[in-house]
Structure 1
């Protein structure tokens, strides 16, 4: 770490830079009591019944009170976000923004119909880091400011272990092996794996990724594939003529 974390914010590409600055501003506003952190959480009732639509954005921005832990966490997350944006941004400057939007929409759907996490920023960052780890399995990743290092391909296991370890420190053994507790730890990993599968497996089989931006799809290839599926069906129903 050659420079302090706040000094390298200008080096971020635009989407990651906006995310880092917005997260810092949210933490400052809460710390100086201009707003309450409860005003930032995601609640389906407040969003869709009370029309408090800002919660759809703020729940992904607020990462906790402004302290050393937040700075280190922000530095770690934004470093990987920067690399993802630089890689996905080669095709279009809005490609990474679309990628994050799809992530957020899936998380909002999960929080609405399955289980609400209120602050979805933690799950989003877990998902992004898992996605990065699967794309770079040979690299070494670190947590707790690099105190613990491991191969990127094992990030999913370490993520669940660390989450459950912190839950043990905060709540004891009562909820450690609770099914819902384990599912909470796996949410980000499962979403990250789904995104990785769509990008790296589904795209190779079907020729496009359903989570990529529509302007990046090979529409000509898709039309040809649809036509190739329709021809056998048409031949199957054609009556036999002697």
Structure 2
């Protein structure tokens, strides 16, 4: 019964969030079991373009370090905000969500050529958090029960938390920058006088990922839940 419940709960996760989170967990498990090493995963332009180790373009987004607090923290935020985006503003728009992944990953890889970053998964998570926060500006957040603020401040609070832990904030700034570029091109610029939609999801992605009907068994992750952890938990104003 426990296995069946866990399996059903797992299958309720929308497909993109499920695939990405699972890939991150399996990659970390493989490193933990010493089946592979981080040296086979990290972003290295020379190895990618001169030695054709193309997989590094993907694997550098899948490893968040060894199992520990930092890994758990990143996985919680990745799962939560990736899922809320897919079940919220990207509901029924799987192809658009995949395109956001590809666009964000491309920009981060491009920036990665000029800065010394070897793993970009945390920056990608911050990008997801940023886009969600800008699309939900009136949600009130609580961070560790210490800070109360509105959603658009969440990426900056996370950056401050990284700074307190002694981590580099370059990764956070990269995620915020890429998230802002996507949000501006997708949500802001097209709605300006004379604005046009620059980001257009390729038709091949729509053919592959979009389905005509919603899943009748779809079970969204609530944005507001009582109790539990409060690492970025939100409540809507006036709710």
User: Is TM > 0.5 for Structure 1 vs Structure 2?
Assistant: yes
CA contact (8 A) 1:88 1:95 kept: no
Find the aligned partners of 1:58 and 1:160 in 2 and give their Cα distance: 23
Which residue does the alignment assign to 1:137?
Answer: 137
- Three-state SS of the structure 2 residue aligned to 1:150 is strand
Find the aligned partners of 2:50 and 2:153 in 1 and give their Cα distance: 41
Report matched runs for 1:204-223 at 5 Å: 204-205=191-192, 206=194, 208-215=196-203
Q: Choose 1 or 2 for highest CA Rg.
A: 1
Provide the aligned C-alpha RMSD in A.
2.5
Count of residues paired in the alignment: 197
Per-residue deviation at 1:71?
3.3
Per-residue deviation at 1:201?
1.1
Per-residue deviation at 1:83?
1.7
Inter-CA distance 15–184: structure 2 relative to 1 (3 Å threshold): closer
Which residue does the alignment assign to 2:119?
Answer: 119
Per-residue deviation at 1:164?
1.6
Unpaired stretches in structure 2, ≥5 consecutive residues? 1-5, 205-239
Inter-CA distance 148–212: structure 2 relative to 1 (3 Å threshold): farther
Inter-CA distance 156–25: structure 2 relative to 1 (3 Å threshold): closer
Unpaired stretches in structure 1, ≥5 consecutive residues? 1-5, 171-180, 217-242
Question: Which of the pair is proportionally richer in helix?
Answer: 1
Which residue does the alignment assign to 2:12?
Answer: 11
Which residue does the alignment assign to 2:56?
Answer: 55
TM superposition score normalised by structure 2: 0.73
Find the aligned partners of 1:72 and 1:164 in 2 and give their Cα distance: 15
Report matched runs for 1:34-183 at 5 Å: 34-67=35-68, 69-112=70-113, 114-143=114-143, 148-167=147-166, 183=170
TM superposition score normalised by structure 1: 0.72
- Where does structure 1 differ by over 6 angstroms across 4 or more consecutive aligned residues? none
Find the aligned partners of 1:71 and 1:185 in 2 and give their Cα distance: 17
Find the aligned partners of 2:143 and 2:41 in 1 and give their Cα distance: 26
Find the aligned partners of 1:47 and 1:154 in 2 and give their Cα distance: 36
Per-residue deviation at 1:91?
5.0
Inter-CA distance 148–22: structure 2 relative to 1 (3 Å threshold): farther
Inter-CA distance 37–158: structure 2 relative to 1 (3 Å threshold): same
Q: Give the one of 157, 170, 194 matched to 2:181.
A: 194
